Structure 1
């Protein structure tokens, strides 16, 4: 859960199927006293909730307003009234509430995978560039307020649609993978709203960035999967039956390759033919050329025998 040292007792977390998602921190992110940043792993099409809890350690000064932002847009808000000697109070945001023809509905939050393409369309669109900066972000801010006005029925909410295909170039190298969206409306209990006046700026902000596991690895938020150890380097006693068979197959393939290389090399050694030309014959010299014999040069010598007859040796 995300907490702030400056305001202990206020806890915020993101839940999927009622279970809080594991949170990760960016070690290179600079710490700010009144805000906290966490990374969470987003699963495509999974619905999520935002749970805020106030424990007895929280110091109440006034009533407060909790405001929820998804992908940089205001989604919903709620007034939490000052409590006397609070022990444990929890409020949960499941989606955006709407009223239509006198009936109340809620549109649940969910993670939607971002479609990334190669087209350059929309790169110059200013609104798109601003939206890209906030893709996959969930923000919850707390502000002291003074509640005024009567309670009245909630009004309808108009939420922005999901982004379509986004150019990879428009992302400018950002490791983003998901955006937040709203599912179809479901009936919910009636609710009331009241106007408020802020007392100063927000005193606490909780930010969550939703990324796939691959994106979290690319950002070095979570460690990359270690490279598997080669079978050849493993202790043979730790190999499974299938791994041992694979290792044996590799060894046989290497042996066949070595034999083929040697046989090819043997055919490339040079030897002289009887007619004086050179040929490729057997040997173990690989690609080197071995001259087994050199071509002899004919000589002419004059030899005198005992009969004083000159004999010419043509050998």
Structure 2
């Protein structure tokens, strides 16, 4: 869960399937965004999270009693953006609470909202260098792959007239984008929006007034979402080491393979003894008739017949390939 070092008590995380996604803080990231360049680094947070294709997600904001309001404001407002688009948010009185921004919200009327679920959708990079396409894709790529939550200190005052400050529609991320438009970023996903659901809501009687102004937030949380491979490409997580050539895992010896090895060894030892016996007969005082008899018959003391032949140097060669 991301926090602001300079403002304890405020926490934000990205949740999917009921669980907060693991965060990889980027303490050496870009904290010089022109939209909040004057904001101290201690009031900014930048993290990476791993996303999964077609998974719904939400933004969880928490406030606890360690937050110090300095008696200057009564509420905190959280404004959420995905891929550069504002999707709504929440403003609540200072206290201890947790709230999930799980949908993009449009105020269609003072008493009705249109809500759409948030989902990670994969994007295919294409090698298209057409200047018109690259220029068009580059505009959409601004903010792509990033979730931003702005925190504002505010007070509430009565509403005199209905206010509509939210967009009337949302733009779903494209399925394809020119790789050149991404300028080397390992962006793998964008945000798509679910079906519209219309919900009746009470008419608002109060509005938030930001004491620091709308363009100067009190804190900023940024989350860059990537596939696992994208996180590796941006060196956020280490790559798996490649196996060395020729290295294969050793197969464990089972009892049957051990027994087979022993019986084979016994057979080889037996054959070696028989060969040694034949060699000794060639060099002792045995008559030539007996040797010729053995050579012609090929019968050994074991009772097994083998094909034999004599080489020019006098050595005997035995063919051990006969069927058992």
Which bracket does the TM-score occupy, shorter chain normalised?
0.5 to 0.7
* CA distance in 2: counterparts of 1:123 and 1:169, whole angstroms: 12
Structure 1 equivalent of residue 219 of structure 2: 204
**How big is the alpha-carbon RMSD for the aligned residues of Structure 1 and Structure 2?**
2.9
Deviation at 1:115, TM superposition (A): 2.5
Please report the TM-score for the alignment, with normalisation by the length of structure 2: 0.65
Structure 2 equivalent of residue 16 of structure 1: 16
Structure 1 equivalent of residue 89 of structure 2: 77
* Residue ranges of structure 1 left out of the alignment (5+ in a row): 246-315
Structure 1 residues 150-182: Cα deviation after superposition (integer angstroms, max 9, x where no partner): 285977732123235211122222111011121
* CA distance in 1: counterparts of 2:217 and 2:247, whole angstroms: 59
Q: Which is helix-richer, 1 or 2?
A: 2
The DSSP-based 3-state class of the residue aligned with 2:159 is strand
* CA distance in 2: counterparts of 1:196 and 1:99, whole angstroms: 16
* CA distance in 2: counterparts of 1:9 and 1:3, whole angstroms: 8
Structure 1 residues 32-58: Cα deviation after superposition (integer angstroms, max 9, x where no partner): 211100000011110001110101101
* CA distance in 1: counterparts of 2:220 and 2:80, whole angstroms: 10
Structure 1 residues 240-281: Cα deviation after superposition (integer angstroms, max 9, x where no partner): 579xx9xxxxxxxxxxxxxxxxxxxxxxxxxxxxxxxxxxxx
The DSSP-based 3-state class of the residue aligned with 1:33 is helix
Please report the TM-score for the alignment, with normalisation by the length of structure 1: 0.66
* Residue ranges of structure 2 left out of the alignment (5+ in a row): 32-40, 258-324
The DSSP-based 3-state class of the residue aligned with 1:131 is helix
- Return 8-17 or 90-99, whichever deviates more: 90-99
1:230-249 equivalence runs, <5 A: 232=247, 236=250, 239-240=251-252
Structure 2 equivalent of residue 221 of structure 1: 236
Structure 1 residues 116-148: Cα deviation after superposition (integer angstroms, max 9, x where no partner): 212234657656424313111100011112323
The 1:44/1:192 distance shift into structure 2, 3 A limit, reads farther
Structure 2 equivalent of residue 278 of structure 1: none
Confirm or deny: 8 A CA contact 1:123 1:170 kept in the other structure: no
